[in-house]
Structure 1
């Protein structure tokens, strides 16, 4: 149904715009940041975590594509790799492609890829106001291991 393929530089530029917008919105919702502060933080975070973009060490940045159309892009998946563990830094299905089983298929393909790389555990964070994402992750075998909390001191 889907495949994960390495992202190219042009695709990374598109992804960067989407990531910053989505992460900034998450920061506004969960951390009560102003729009400007959230966008700046999102941009700085991406640049810090992927300093060489798609060539950054210990990261896999993939486009999610349809097998029937390998150059299509229906979403993005960015995974950080730490020894034999992985962390999903970002997982995004484009709005027009949601609710078609592609998210589940992408997570299953990711598991196969990670196992092939010698990874034996994968984690993630899900925003509290995103129950559909939480439900998807639970259907795919993820379970709650803790709760993140923070307080803004400004």
Structure 2
């Protein structure tokens, strides 16, 4: 059986530093950040999004569990005055549990949680170098609403 539950403080303390490092690497790989500046940039972004950690209003952080074992992580921002839809900031399946349908299960659980809270729309970004994630999102009914492109000139 698959369920989501609120992330614990101990899990948050482990996951967020790892997530920052992974996100910084993705930003560099996508050509959106200079390697020398990316760490400070990512720190500023996370401080703005999660100023009070797990207690930050409007931010939902969940662990996904299958048969009592944590298999993934989900971070959702609730709609705001600036953004009319909920937003998936991160969905992550533990390496040992990938390719077993847990990414889909996390997304479906997110949808169920948001519907229960009265949310009617959900958005996300996906890095261009992650076609597997894009395929998952499209198979769940997500549609491309904008597309950023970049070209190295060096």
**Do both share a fold (TM > 0.5)?**
yes
Aligned residue for 1:109, secondary structure, equals helix
Specify which of 65, 72, 75 is matched with residue 75 of structure 1: 72
Runs of 4+ in 1 over 2 A off after TM superposition: 31-36, 148-152
Residue 31 of structure 1: how far off its partner (Å): 2.8
Relative to the length of structure 2, the TM-score reads 0.89
Query: What residue number does 1:13 align with?
Result: 13
Structure 1 position 150, deviation (Å):
6.7
Give the aligned partner of residue 108 of structure 2.
108
Greater relative CO (CA pairs within 8 A, separation 6+): 1
CA RMSD of aligned residues (A): 1.9
The answer to whether the 8 A contact 2:104-2:136 is kept is yes
Give a deviation string over 1:80-133, Cα, whole Å, max 9, x none: 011562000111111111100000011111111110000000000000010000
Q: Which runs of 5+ in 1 are unaligned?
A: none
Do the aligned partners of residues 32 and 85 (structure 1) sit closer, same or farther apart at CA in structure 2, a change above 3 Å counting?
A: closer
Q: TM-score, normalised by structure 1?
A: 0.89
